[in-house]
Amino acid sequence: MVTLVLLLAACNGRGKTSSVSEGGDTLRLRYARNLCIVRFPDYTLAVLRNPWDTAKTLRTYALVDRRLPLPNLPEGAEAVRVPLERCMVYSSVHCSLFKELGALDRIAGICGLEYMNMPEIRQRCAEGRMADCGNSLSPDVEKIIDLHPDAILLSPFENSNGYGKIGKLGIPLVECADYMETSPLGRAEWMAFYGLLTGTYSRADSLFREVEAAYLRLKTLALQAESRPAVMSDLKYGATWYVSGGGSTTGKLFADAGARYVFDYLPNSGSVPMAFETVFDRGQLAEYWLVKYNQPEDKTYGTLAAEYAPYSRFRAFRERRIYGCNTCRIPFYEETPFRPDLLLEDMVKIFHPELSDNHQTRYFTRLAE
């Protein structure tokens, strides 16, 4: 029987495909650091490393063909019958990926419909072809039970304590820890896992190769730029400004786009709360400023200054180099986690227009007056 110790050792062997047991081979993942996939004749093991304590395992799933008898599995591995036929998905990010993989019909229910910027999801819920099970923080358990899902896909968080009633239903919980990866291609590479879950691995593999090739081409293109402009991002929320760390996917995207992120010195992979004065001290001379927001009307320089007058003191404001993304109508959060190449293309166009051939930005556009 395969031991999880051997599997963890295989996960750390990134340089080559490595055997962990008779007939078991590790699928080569070049960028993902919190995922290891090992194929065996009767099942595929997916080992998820705990992103908050990387010496430990978050979950180990045994993906077993639903047409076959359940084989003997390693201790600690949770069986998930694949391909999924009636799963429940908490996040619009994964709904969007399922659409890309041609697996949208495998979603029977969702949470957080109000946050789903996907017409296909809204239509299916309106027609009763997909169940809306309420808020992801307190989902409608009775609806979920009636749905009979074969798995629930949700985003893990530190010290989740079993997800309350949802964790006691006996339904496999697939913890989508891709968001804890620290590189854009690392997160995108998790589409291999979701391809295995939905029986669309070939499509997932092909899509990732397209994403990787496009991303690396754009990164190489950005290296040709003669300058590296300074850039800052986002807006103050209440009394606090949450700044993406230099080790975050946002920080790495800025670097790969040939820009100098003003907070690149922060090692954090998540957000760091800061006072306005601290952000102003670092970002007041940044040439570019990228902001995301969610509201019915697009922001303008006028509305931005009306919201908080000190915004007008930044150089990017004065020189009219602020670019905004209104996530109320633009599927930024749905698309970019697994299509970082599309976001990088926007950034290269913004920071180095001389390198782009009439590319129209997909997500960010200049703020109007």
Q: What is the pLDDT of residue 7?
A: 58
What secondary structure letter does DSSP report for 232? E
Give dist(CA 350, CA 228) in Å, integer. Answer: 12
Contact between 331 and 364 under an 8 Å Cβ cutoff? The reply is no
Write out the H or E segment, with its range, that includes residue 243: strand 240-244
Q: What is the pLDDT of residue 160?
A: 67
Which amino acid, 167? G
**Residue 185: both structure tokens together:** 């291609």
Place of tokens 């913004």: 350
Coil vs helix vs strand at 91:
coil
Q: What is the pLDDT of residue 356?
A: 82
Q: Outline which parts of the chain fall under CATH 3.40.50.1980.
A: 226-366
Place of tokens 């979950």: 59
User: How many other CB atoms sit within 10 Å of the CB of residue 109?
Assistant: 24
Contact between 196 and 48 under an 8 Å Cβ cutoff? The reply is no
Q: What are the percentages of helix, strand and coil residues in the chain, rounded to 5?
A: 35, 20, 40
Q: What is the pLDDT of residue 351?
A: 97
Which of 179, 119, 353 minimizes the C-alpha distance to 257? 353
Q: What is the pLDDT of residue 20?
A: 45
Q: What is the pLDDT of residue 8?
A: 56
Question: CB burial class (10 A; 0-12, 13-18, 19+) of residue 6?
Answer: middle
Q: What is the pLDDT of residue 14?
A: 47
Q: What is the pLDDT of residue 176?
A: 96
Place of tokens 């229910």: 109
Contact between 211 and 100 under an 8 Å Cβ cutoff? The reply is no
Give dist(CA 306, CA 314) in Å, integer. Answer: 15
Q: Which residues of the chain have pLDDT under 70?
A: 1-23, 160-161, 359
Give dist(CA 355, CA 336) in Å, integer. Answer: 22
Q: What is the pLDDT of residue 19?
A: 40
Architecture of 226-366 per CATH?
Answer: 3-Layer(aba) Sandwich (3.40)
Coil vs helix vs strand at 339:
coil
Query: Can you list the alpha helix ranges (DSSP code H) found in the chain?
Result: 4-12, 92-100, 119-126, 141-147, 184-188, 191-198, 201-222, 249-256, 276-283, 301-307, 315-318, 332-335, 340-351
The pTM (predicted TM-score) of the whole model is: 0.92
